[in-house]
Amino acid sequence: MPAILLVDDRLIENEVLREILTEAGHKVTSEANLGRVVALVDSSLFDLVISDLSMTGQNGVELVQNLHRANPALPILVMTDSATIENALVALREGAFDCLKKPFLKDEFLLAVDRVIRNSKLARENIGLREEIRRDKNTRS
């Protein structure tokens, strides 16, 4: 069961997305305060962070930067409305894996979540296999 951290300060959107993810079999932790997100990521293992970029008085792009700096392997899916599409492009350059433009359909959301988790898992497996090959080469030399 993939563990997802959902970051959104709009309580209704947060609850709807949480319910969709839970019904799809994901373990979801919600947080509205960006100041607590980095601490949560430091203290828990998440397979994905989903964050809204436009939150009241908070900077979603800075969150992406901080999370990517702390854990470059942690995939981040950002959500944005048309007013902050420029911020979405900056977030992608700063380490977000993908971006969903609001409003989106439930199926579109779940496909994006599954794609990010699947690609992240493949990247981790690839790194592990490369390390295994490197170790095998070193022991044979």
| Domain regions of the chain by residue span | 3-140
What does pTM read for this prediction?
Answer: 0.86
- pLDDT for the residue numbered 35: 82
DSSP conformational letter for 135: H
Q: Per the CATH hierarchy, to which homologous superfamily does domain 3-140 belong?
A: Response regulator (3.40.50.2300)
Query: Rounded to an integer, what distance in angstroms lies between the CA atom of residue 79 and that of residue 7?
Result: 10
**Low pLDDT (below 70) residues in the chain:** 82-84, 141
User: How many Å is the Cα radius of gyration of the chain?
Assistant: 16
State pLDDT tens for residues 41-57: 888 889 999 999 888 77
- pLDDT for the residue numbered 83: 58
In one-letter notation, the amino acid at residue 23 is E
- pLDDT for the residue numbered 46: 93
Strand pairing report for 54-55 and 58-59 = antiparallel
| Token pair 């090959």 in the structure block, residue | 133
- pLDDT for the residue numbered 19: 97
Query: Rounded to an integer, what distance in angstroms lies between the CA atom of residue 134 and that of residue 103?
Result: 45
Tokens matching residue 53: 């970029």
- pLDDT for the residue numbered 84: 67
Side by side, the strands of the sheet bearing 48-52 are: 27-31, 3-7, 48-52, 76-80, 98-101
